[in-house]
Amino acid sequence: MKEATLRDVAELAGVSPRTVSNVVNGYARVTELTRQKVERAIAELGYRPNVLARHLATGRSGQILVVVPYLDTPYFAELLQAVIPVARQAGYNVLIDQSDGDREHEGQFIGHASQRSLFDGMIYSPLGLSQEDLSRRDPALPLVVLGERTSEASFDHVGIDDVAASTEAVQHLIGLGRRRIAAIGDQPYPTGEAAQRRTAGFRAAHAVAGLPIDESLIIGTPRFNRVDGAQAMEALLQKDNPPDAVFCYSDLVASGAIHTALSKGFRVPEDIAVIGYDDIEDGRYSLPTISTIAPDKQAIARLAVERLVIRINSKEPVPGVDLRAGHRLVARQSTIG
Amino acid sequence: MKEATLRDVAELAGVSPRTVSNVVNGYARVTELTRQKVERAIAELGYRPNVLARHLATGRSGQILVVVPYLDTPYFAELLQAVIPVARQAGYNVLIDQSDGDREHEGQFIGHASQRSLFDGMIYSPLGLSQEDLSRRDPALPLVVLGERTSEASFDHVGIDDVAASTEAVQHLIGLGRRRIAAIGDQPYPTGEAAQRRTAGFRAAHAVAGLPIDESLIIGTPRFNRVDGAQAMEALLQKDNPPDAVFCYSDLVASGAIHTALSKGFRVPEDIAVIGYDDIEDGRYSLPTISTIAPDKQAIARLAVERLVIRINSKEPVPGVDLRAGHRLVARQSTIG
DNA sequence: GTGAAAGCGCTAACAC
DNA sequence: GTGTTAGCGCTTTCAC
């Protein structure tokens, strides 16, 4: 049996489609009597509005696209988990995409992002995407980018203060009496801005404390995964003079690093203190539990969606702004035992 | 500036909308000459088809809804990660929903699942959803349910053979010489079917080996999270006669259980061997690495999407089938050291 | 407050 | 092979 349409309802209720539409959307005031007639007809027919048709007529889809590098990376999964309810609350469905290896696809931005009018806006969490890539996009698409970025563009940024957070992390290690501190995760190239901000914090903390930096202790990694942390730690421990603390650019990296350290017979934190970044749930249950920088994911999600909605609803071009969510340092076993 | 429409293209190319549509969709054969004219016009206008309009006209949205209990549970994140590319390949976008605590919402099935024609079909991964709930849904919506289920309904099931897999897991422990084996995760109530199948496997393995079961070693948990595992292990270790092995109903449970065991001074696997279920990435990097039952997630994703597509494209009602993906036992440090 | 009617942009009979 | 045209189901301007 075919689905009932708005027109069917109108006929049954003996009113015009216009009135039914009003009732359904709560637009204009409708006489209590007609409202009841309409509502009864709706119930009787089991009428459900066709969202697609509504979208075509209104010109908006009520969907937003959220793009993350990887879905199975805990940090992104947790972020998404936060974004979805907030978006739903704001009346939007969430479409999810993994940017993954798709960076290859030259012309098109990513995945189905090229499809027009399928979503009203987009929240993009870049991994290795330079500013240039971002500006090569359809400027008409409302866009909020996750992660701090210094730029005045036609889109917004939402993130925590990476440099400050990283500085705190390293100061925490210094405060614990550590003097040979390594950093795992640097990415000294255009697409590695996020990593570079952490490195900047690393340097800042040293500068403040008047501590020299052993440049050989800054280890670059292609990504922020466990393997990267494991390999980097491996290299660090082979040194004649291994570090007594490590600042890892993600909890996953920290997890991998700790794994390697422990299996090589080092004690964490006694021999090597380790602090991560992201506060993934995992770090709260691993052994040792992992000290970390905890970004306020709820705030990030809320700010991003709020801002995107503003952008979607605005007729005028909206200037790009930089929004900061909070963060805090959570000391756990991997640094304080 | 407004977006160019198909009609604009038609005018510029001097052909009818029909022809443009043909070119865009590659339907009928088009003269090479007209095709070129059309394509030139498309390029010149920067025309991009309006997906929404297409959907309204065709009556299908090209989207499928995937519902999982929690996005930040590694197993589901990994599953989703597998589903998305497969769906995209099949020409579908993926809409994601968390069922989460939404079970409360009586009438409506879940989240935006009530919205009509927003998606062509749905892949549903139930957590605590009884068969009844499932049958109370819109029977017209093509549906594939993840997880083995014994039922002949109007939808399909895709999962691994839980009972067989669980049996293997426990046989692995028995083969290692363990005799007092505990199980963590039972859920002896209607919505706990998945858990009950694991318990059935647990019993089967004991039966085969002619081993008695100490019923007090079967611990129920409300969910399959780390906390559940941690608490259950706590209880087990307080016994006068603690178990020498544990079969956990998820890797997360195993992770929590191991965490507790280690911090209480037990050695894993020497004092207590632990095996999990799901093969989440985490278990490959934790210390010790976690032995587990590894479901073929790729196969699950592929089967689920394929089946859903069949269901979507079929005019006739399709009988519900039960599809089995493969699984294998992966022995790691938590059982074999 | 409600009705009539014109689209939103595309697809797909149905002709030619 | 290509043109004509009638919808898909809803919103919404404009009258009444």
CA of A136 to C1' of C11 (A): 32
**Sequence-ordered list of residues with C-beta below 8 angstroms from that of A47, at least 6 positions apart, any chain:** A3, A4, A5, A6, A8, A9, A41
Closest-CA residue of A relative to B101 is A85
pLDDT at residue number A107: 35
Of B63, B72, B96, nearest to A281 by CB-CB distance is B72
Statement to judge: residues B105 and B222 lie in one domain: no
**Range A250-263 average pLDDT:** 94
CA of B57 to C1' of C12 (A): 9
- Which one has a higher pLDDT value, A118 or B148? A118
Statement to judge: residues A241 and A284 lie in one domain: yes
Categorize the per-residue pLDDT at B131 as very low, low, confident or very high, splitting at 50, 70 and 90.
low
A118 contact B CB<8A: yes
pLDDT at residue number A113: 55
φ, ψ (nearest 5 deg) of residue A58: -85, -20
Q: Is residue B74 part of a domain?
A: yes
B108 contact A CB<8A: no
Q: In CATH, what number is assigned to the domain containing residue A322?
A: 3.40.50.2300
CA of B311 to C1' of C16 (A): 38
Q: Is residue A108 part of a domain?
A: yes
Statement to judge: residues A286 and A167 lie in one domain: yes
Amino acid at position B262, single letter: L
> In terms of Cα–Cα distance, which of B243, B256, B269, B237 is closest to B181?
B243
Rounded to whole angstroms, the Cα distance separating B16 from B26 reads 15
Q: Is residue A337 part of a domain?
A: no
- Which one has a higher pLDDT value, B287 or A306? A306
pLDDT digits (tens, 9 = 90+) for B174-217: 999 999 999 999 999 888 889 999 999 999 999 999 999 999 99
Q: Which range is most confident: A33-42, B31-40, B208-217? A: B208-217
pLDDT over 90 (residue B162): yes
A266 contact B CB<8A: no
Q: Do B74 and A78 touch (CB under 8 A)?
A: no
Q: In CATH, what number is assigned to the domain containing residue A11?
A: 1.10.260.40
Domain enclosing residue A81, as ranges: 63-159+298-326
CA of B20 to C1' of C11 (A): 11
pLDDT digits (tens, 9 = 90+) for A147-201: 877 666 778 999 999 999 999 999 999 999 999 999 999 999 888 889 999 999 9
Q: Is residue A86 part of a domain?
A: yes
B138 contact A CB<8A: no
pLDDT over 70 (residue B298): yes
Statement to judge: residues A168 and A134 lie in one domain: no
Where are the strands (E) in chain B, listed by range? Answer: 63-68, 93-98, 121-124, 143-146, 156-160, 181-186, 218-220, 245-248, 273-277, 291-295, 322-325, 327-330
| Smallest Cα distance from B107 to chain A, Å | 13
The residue behind tokens 């006929």 is A11
Rounded to whole angstroms, the Cα distance separating A71 from B68 reads 13
Q: Is residue B335 part of a domain?
A: no
8 A C-beta contact, residue B10 and residue B17: yes
Of A61, A259, A263, nearest to B52 by CB-CB distance is A61
Statement to judge: residues A168 and A133 lie in one domain: no
Which nucleotides of strand C are protein-proximal, with an atom < 7 A from a CB? 1-5, 7-13
Cα dist. B134→A269, B63, B270 in Å?
50, 21, 44
Total domains present in chain B? 3
Closest-CA residue of B relative to A2 is B140
Q: Is residue B315 part of a domain?
A: yes
Rounded to whole angstroms, the Cα distance separating A207 from A136 reads 38
Statement to judge: residues A6 and A92 lie in one domain: no
CA of A139 to C1' of D12 (A): 28
**Range B40-53 average pLDDT:** 88
Rounded to whole angstroms, the Cα distance separating A280 from A181 reads 23
Q: How many Cβ contacts (< 8 angstroms) between chains A and B?
A: 123
| Smallest Cα distance from B66 to chain A, Å | 11
Closest C1' nucleotide to A58's CA: D11
Three-state secondary structure of A264-314: CCCCCCCCCEEEEECCCHHHHCCCCCCEEEEECHHHHHHHHHHHHHHHHHC
Reading the block at residue A98, the tokens are 């993994």
Statement to judge: residues B250 and B188 lie in one domain: yes
pLDDT digits (tens, 9 = 90+) for A55-74: 888 888 889 999 888 888 99
Looking at A300-314, A316-330, B21-35, B253-267, which range is the least confident one? B21-35
Statement to judge: residues B6 and B30 lie in one domain: yes
Statement to judge: residues B90 and B23 lie in one domain: no
Q: Is residue A58 part of a domain?
A: no
Closest-CA residue of B relative to A65 is B95
Statement to judge: residues A32 and A80 lie in one domain: no
Statement to judge: residues A239 and A145 lie in one domain: no
Q: What is the pTM of this model?
A: 0.88
8 A C-beta contact, residue A294 and residue A254: no
> In terms of Cα–Cα distance, which of B237, B234, B218 is closest to B226?
B234
Q: Is residue A3 part of a domain?
A: yes
Statement to judge: residues A236 and A318 lie in one domain: no
